[in-house]
Chain A
């Protein structure tokens, strides 16, 4: 079982990601947080092995979350879900250099990508990061 935490300031986005992941019986969503600070507070009790993390959030954003998690819990893999507008932006490059297991566009952000393939991508990334 892959213990996964969803970090996103949008309730809707969290629900949508959760729905996507429910399709995979090997992934269990152990908790949610609305920003990085909340996530850091919850990590100790939820002990996730993988986190999906939004880029833009109030209080503590995706990059800041990554900086803290890699320092405090280097064993946790982070997949950054970005709805940032420019592919490979400075923030995305930063996330990769900070050790994000993957940086991917939020589902449906670009309509040329079929939603189903994006869902599979996310699930695939979670499995890859867990193995790696």
Chain B
């Protein structure tokens, strides 16, 4: 089977592998001492299915099958008896049916991707097309990044860590790491520029998940990096912007002009924080005052951004 793109490859194989997987599970369920070969085939089907389901973004299905995989490993290692596990296997199979159907329905697909006249999945014996296509690079674009950003426990605004100035640089210079901070300062302007460019492409192009994913990833990196350095302003503001993008990705929030404006203001604020960070950095490393830090109203903005995100229902 030749595929022009990764997405059609996944959509072709996922339901078929799911069907094969289901068949093997049922066979295993009905045998007291499953043939080792059957267990091997089941393991293979489990691995393939998890890879495909994950790439599709069917995370719950993937998780259900990973539990089954753990159980199977126990049986294969003779830590547990098949007869004792039957209930759990049955449970996993039923649970997989439910989550899979729900997840593909949520993706707007109802027919299991199978066009009429498609041969039955269990007649497929050639597994070779299942692996990563050597010619097309593993594709991050089609791997939906489904993050659960909503009930994130906020980094607490703890007075000792955070006092409105740079957490580390302002309050505890003994933890200050010039080398890592230099790297942060070097990477940041370009990252911010990239996000800004992406925001500007949003307007004519509001439904492009790749743009949202790219922005999400860059902001996620900024959040993570600033977290390492204890620069909590970036971490907290970045987190709010990331949550907004996550809500867009999950279609709980639609792209609009005011929303793009908020993201742009977020980038502006980060640019301002960046300028202040540079001044603090020069002060700490060279002992020279290179300018007056200008106050950046990031906290109110963070609140506004957070308020614009509907809570998960």
Contact = CB atoms under 8 A, between A and B. Distances in A.
B147 A85 contact: yes
A86 B221 contact: no
Interface stretch (A25-33, A44-52, A60-68, A121-129): A60-68
Interface string B42-64: 00000100110011000110110
B297 interface: no
Contact of A11 (B54, B150, B183): B183
Contact of A13 (B66, B67, B228): B228
A98 B227 contact: no
Contacts of A13: 224-225, 228
B36 interface: no
The 6 A-B pairs at the shortest CB distance, nearest first, are namely: A85-B152, A97-B66, A86-B148, A83-B224, A85-B149, A12-B183
A111 B147 contact: no
Nearest to B226: A108
Contacts of B175: 115
Contacts, number: 122
Contacts of B54: 63-64, 67, 94
A61 to B, nearest CB: 7
6 contacts: A12-B183, A13-B228, A58-B140, A85-B147, A85-B239, A111-B156
Give the interface residue-count category, chain A.
Answer: 35 or more
Contact of B151 (A16, A63, A83, A86): A86
B70 A97 contact: yes
Contacts of A71: 47
A1 interface: no
Interface in A1-57: 9-13, 15-16, 19, 37, 56
Given A85-B152, A87-B153, A93-B63, 5 more contacts: A37-B138, A94-B59, A106-B228, A108-B228, A109-B155
A15 B229 contact: no
A56 B184 contact: no
A83 to B, nearest CB: 4
Nearest to A86: B148
Q: Is the interface of B mostly helix, strand, loop or mixed?
A: helix
Contacts of A98: 50, 66, 69
A102 interface: no
Interface residues of B, number: 54
Contact of B137 (A59, A90, A115): A59
Interface of A: 9-13, 15-16, 19, 37, 56, 58-61, 63-64, 67, 71, 83-87, 89-91, 93-94, 97-98, 106-112, 115
Q: Is the interface of A mostly helix, strand, loop or mixed?
A: loop
Interface of B: 47, 50-51, 54-55, 59-60, 62-63, 66-67, 69-70, 137-138, 140, 143, 145-153, 155-156, 158, 161-162, 167, 175, 177, 179-180, 183-184, 187, 217, 220-221, 223-225, 227-230, 232, 235, 239, 242-243
Contacts of B162: 111
Contacts of B156: 111-112
Contact of B148 (A10, A16, A90, A108): A90
B148 A89 contact: yes
A115 B227 CA distance: 10
Nearest to A91: B59
A111 B153 contact: no
A12 B228 contact: yes
B297 to A, nearest CB: 21
Contact of B227 (A87, A93, A106): A106
A125 B287 CA distance: 39
Contacts of A61: 140, 143, 145
A107 to B, nearest CB: 6
B228 A59 contact: no
Contact of B145 (A12, A56, A106, A109): A56
Contacts of A56: 145, 147, 217, 220
